[in-house]
Structure 1
């Protein structure tokens, strides 16, 4: 019995890697998208006086966050994603994460903005995000950078800074998470 349990424990990482490989292939093939929480930005939440086009009013990436974003770009390229459609929250930490991936021009998307201070917008904004994603035309792989509250509202997961989820298309009901990838 002990030997069977040990063998099972040794094989679990192989099964997870196979699942991750399928998820990455689905992303490349346009059957999934990557939704990522911005990389490390010290602090929590959102300041009450955020001005979207003024990074001095926001939490921003530190050196660790910048390295993580660059590493994510390398990871994407290792998985064959050298060019993607990149959408980002308008918050500076998300935009900088998206740019440092270096896999495509970054398009700001208000539906990806944090609603941390306006939690009453949760349902409406989550529906707006689903509609935005559903309205995207087929083409290059899709990478989106957002915030913990948005990703949690959409997926019921609590992602760490720099964590990404590969979500299956189409997004109906609660999205199917094909893989969860840590920074």
Structure 2
């Protein structure tokens, strides 16, 4: 019990410090946030789903919608009131991105799930790296937030994430992830 209390105290004291410079890290031109969509009950998509038709996909539940809003509020408390937000074209990702309330959301193909076609992992991750390189090379200092799926996040960073979990990712000049840490 003492160890749990000490661990909780350490987390409460040092976690705010770990995120204190989040906005400046994101404005550096070499860091971004990548996150898995908020809670969408189930696994994968139903057979015959169509990208442009949300009624055929696995979507956010009420908890997921609330979770996305809370993540957006947490980002605001970190000083991130506006961002360049890109999302997988899947509805659960687009909805998560919109509910963050950080500005316009743009669908980006390289963030789309390859869960049903794992052989696409390498090719699509290279496309994501090229996209990141292009976005971070712009002089725009707005933070970059990418909303995607677990398989994409793992392929890009080597870290497995839960629903709604965000990673702060440091990248090299080629857009490849060189380090990452959980934010929530």
Which residue number corresponds to residue 127 of structure 2? 128
Q: TM-score, normalised by structure 1?
A: 0.87
The count of residues paired between Structure 1 and Structure 2 equals 178
Gaps of 5+ in 2: none
Which residue number corresponds to residue 141 of structure 1? 143
2:138 matched to 1:111? no
2:179 matched to 1:176? yes
Paired with 1:176 and 1:90, the residues of 2 have a C-alpha distance of 26
Q: TM-score, normalised by structure 2?
A: 0.87
1:25-104 alignment to 2 at 5 Å? 25-104=24-103
- The verdict on how the C-alpha distance between 1:23 and 1:169 changes in structure 2, with shifts beyond 3 A counting, is farther
Paired with 1:62 and 1:10, the residues of 2 have a C-alpha distance of 30
Please give the root-mean-square deviation of Cα atoms over the aligned residues, in Å. 2.4
Aligned with residue 164 of structure 1, among 156, 166, 178: 166
SS of 1:71's partner is helix
Paired with 1:38 and 1:119, the residues of 2 have a C-alpha distance of 19
> Contact conserved, 1:48 with 1:117, CA < 8 A, in 2?
no
The structural deviation recorded for 1:117 is 0.3
Deviations 1:68-88 (A, max 9, x none): 111111111111111110000
Gaps of 5+ in 1: none
SS of 1:76's partner is helix
Paired with 2:183 and 2:124, the residues of 1 have a C-alpha distance of 24
The structural deviation recorded for 1:168 is 1.4
